[in-house]
A and B are shown apart, each in its own frame.
Chain A
């Protein structure tokens, strides 16, 4: 019995070193659920810090504004807590995708927006016109207040043939003959 205890103890000891879990796996799961907009609207400096705070129980799972109630719901499921709608009360759906647009005739080339962009999606240099890499823009709006001449607008992504989706089948209710 003692021998068995020693052997099993050794096995467990080895396993705890060999299969040591690096970091908190919950953080990864929470982060995978977040939309990675990096907008900071949750009060944290990006999606990763928010995920860490949520996993540590320091933040509520309903603070992600771009993710809306869908993300809040999946996070609540993941943490095993009760779902609360985003924004305290009324709740919201996920925000429609939007991209920043720089009015190039107004841009003064100050590079303020480049510093504000969390995902390095604005190209330009000092005193040269800036432009947005539209298909990588997360629509976080952080560049909008940074612009001193108000030349950045957020445009909703329009539906086109490339991003069009089949709709949920809706069956018309007709009057029975």
Chain B
């Protein structure tokens, strides 16, 4: 028996698992219209690769991964692309996002599905397959798996942790998946282990899921993978908490598990890895728990893009008294404004909420500094301090108190006797700080661009000045050379000759005129004129020559 370690704090909210975990996973029928968001993962949203009016096959890539941290999205059914436009998506903001809408034709024509022999393939080829199959972490953060399943660090990966804790109340999708498809989950773990080459593989499952643990144990026989049953305590399914529980290692503040030689993945992700690699099936469906105030709470294997309203109908529809819907669990989930929003890879649970099940929170009272939140915090933070700093918008202090290590699990809000919505304050402070950092980065870039422009202008000015100076120097040198050698270049000589000729002509004309008028007028009157005119002509010709020279210079 493995020694288990303890993480700090934790709470025991009512589990509410038995409502939805009794019935097996039911396949959901094909909806008429599927709306597939292009942003279903962390990183860049996928780029659409189909046009409105295109015929698509089931499993065909309709959005390609954009960059390294991104993943593809696929057509969940065969049919026609009817729109590529913003559509309601399940997001706490309630804002629309770009989606591809497909009218299903009901024929369910698949793309060609080819398994990949991962044992003999290049690991990068396997990772590429995962990216193009849209495999992302299904535990909630939807981080692209091809990025995560890369040992990268020179020290390598010592432990691969599979997260089957599912600690959040009400949700049972991983529980049912492990009970019913343990063998396939283990096949997926084999692929992950092949890519990561860890020394040990640990599968953590909370002790409120004995059937799932037994099924996984049976499936792991002979593989060397160890199923570890951990005590039920929220949030044992948090990545850093589960790693602490199983290995005793703590992920340092601001670092990721890979920095201490551990990688943690959800069991649901392992299942999709298996489908993608061994069956060539991209992620076009997921198991979602529909529970709460519905007639028949249950898990459904539902196509991505199915409207949430239809998913609620699968469970018999909402019972009277439903006031709102929650996406995810009650601790970390958020309210859904629009039931037209489609199912995405991140949605593991839809809860129909009624005041009987989720009594509205009493009005928040002032913090009484009791410190219960600090006792409950699984990250060993000081939630009350973070609350004061976030509340007073003292963001630098909040950051200094490691606000960014908060996993927003909600344990602090759960125990707060003053019913303060602590996590809302942390989320506000986090997004405010992130925005400011972004603005600072943009300002820094703007400053650089401004300085570069100034430098460029300065450089161009200097270059122009240098060009002028060079030309002027060259001209002066040529003149000086001509003067020194006494030899004129042919052009100047021609010019001079022309001027001389003009002067001669003028002189001749004057002389002719003078000879004609000789008899009538006194020569004394005429002589100065005849002398001055050729001089003027010469001066004019010279100034003209100088001006043309200047023109060619500039």
Which A residues have a C-beta under 8 Å from some C-beta of B?
31, 34-38, 46-48, 117-121, 136, 138, 159-161, 163-169, 171, 174
- A138–B97 CB distance below 8 A: no
Residues of B within 8 A of A46 (CB): 450, 454
- A136–B428 CB distance below 8 A: no
Given A161-B93, A164-B95: A169 and B425 within 8 A (CB)? yes
- B447–A165 CB distance below 8 A: no
Within 8 A of A (CB), among B416-451: 421, 424-425, 427-428, 430-432, 435, 439, 442-447, 449-451
- B428–A166 CB distance below 8 A: yes
Residues of B within 8 A of A165 (CB): 428, 431-432, 435
- B364–A171 CB distance below 8 A: yes
Task: Kindly name the residue among B39, B89, B454 whose own CB sees the greatest number of chain A CB atoms within 10 A.
Answer: B454
Residues of A within 8 A of B447 (CB): 31, 36, 38, 47-48
Given A169-B424, A169-B425, A174-B363: A159 and B449 within 8 A (CB)? no
22 residue pairs from A and B, CB less than 8 Å apart = A35-B439, A36-B446, A36-B450, A38-B447, A38-B450, A47-B447, A120-B453, A136-B445, A138-B442, A159-B95, A161-B93, A164-B91, A164-B93, A165-B428, A165-B431, A165-B435, A166-B427, A166-B432, A169-B428, A171-B363, A171-B364, A174-B363
- A138–B453 CB distance below 8 A: no
- B453–A119 CB distance below 8 A: yes
Q: How many angstroms from the CA of A160 to the CA of B451 in the assembled complex?
A: 31
Q: How many angstroms from the CA of A47 to the CA of B445 in the assembled complex?
A: 13
- A161–B97 CB distance below 8 A: yes
- A119–B446 CB distance below 8 A: yes
Shortest Cβ distance from residue B388 to the other chain A in the assembled complex, whole angstroms: 14
By beta carbon, the residue of chain A nearest B456 is: A120
Which B residues have a C-beta under 8 Å from some C-beta of A?
39, 89, 91-93, 95, 97, 363-364, 421, 424-425, 427-428, 430-432, 435, 439, 442-447, 449-454, 456
Given A38-B450, A136-B449, A161-B89: A168 and B443 within 8 A (CB)? no
Q: How many angstroms from the CA of A148 to the CA of B421 in the assembled complex?
A: 54
- A118–B421 CB distance below 8 A: no
Q: How many angstroms from the CA of A160 to the CA of B45 in the assembled complex?
A: 13
Residues of A within 8 A of B39 (CB): 161
Residues of B within 8 A of A34 (CB): 443
- B92–A166 CB distance below 8 A: yes
By beta carbon, the residue of chain B nearest A135 is: B442
Shortest Cβ distance from residue B478 to the other chain A in the assembled complex, whole angstroms: 34
By beta carbon, the residue of chain A nearest B97 is: A161
- A47–B450 CB distance below 8 A: yes
Number of residue pairs spanning A and B whose beta carbons lie under 8 angstroms apart = 75
Residues of A within 8 A of B456 (CB): 120
- A36–B443 CB distance below 8 A: yes
Extra inter-chain contacts (16) besides given A166-B424, A166-B432, CB under 8 Å: A31-B447, A34-B443, A47-B447, A47-B450, A119-B453, A121-B449, A138-B446, A159-B95, A161-B93, A164-B95, A165-B428, A165-B431, A165-B432, A166-B92, A169-B421, A169-B425
Shortest Cβ distance from residue A45 to the other chain B in the assembled complex, whole angstroms: 9
By beta carbon, the residue of chain A nearest B438 is: A163
Residues of B within 8 A of A31 (CB): 447
- A136–B92 CB distance below 8 A: no
- A119–B428 CB distance below 8 A: no
Shortest Cβ distance from residue B267 to the other chain A in the assembled complex, whole angstroms: 28
Given A166-B431, A171-B363: A38 and B446 within 8 A (CB)? yes
- A167–B446 CB distance below 8 A: no
By beta carbon, the residue of chain B nearest A46 is: B450
- A160–B446 CB distance below 8 A: no
Q: How many angstroms from the CA of A173 to the CA of B446 in the assembled complex?
A: 43
Shortest Cβ distance from residue B434 to the other chain A in the assembled complex, whole angstroms: 8
By beta carbon, the residue of chain A nearest B425 is: A169
Residues of A within 8 A of B443 (CB): 34-36
Shortest Cβ distance from residue A135 to the other chain B in the assembled complex, whole angstroms: 8
Q: How many angstroms from the CA of A37 to the CA of B39 in the assembled complex?
A: 31
Q: How many angstroms from the CA of A164 to the CA of B430 in the assembled complex?
A: 12
Given A159-B95, A161-B93, A169-B421: A120 and B427 within 8 A (CB)? no
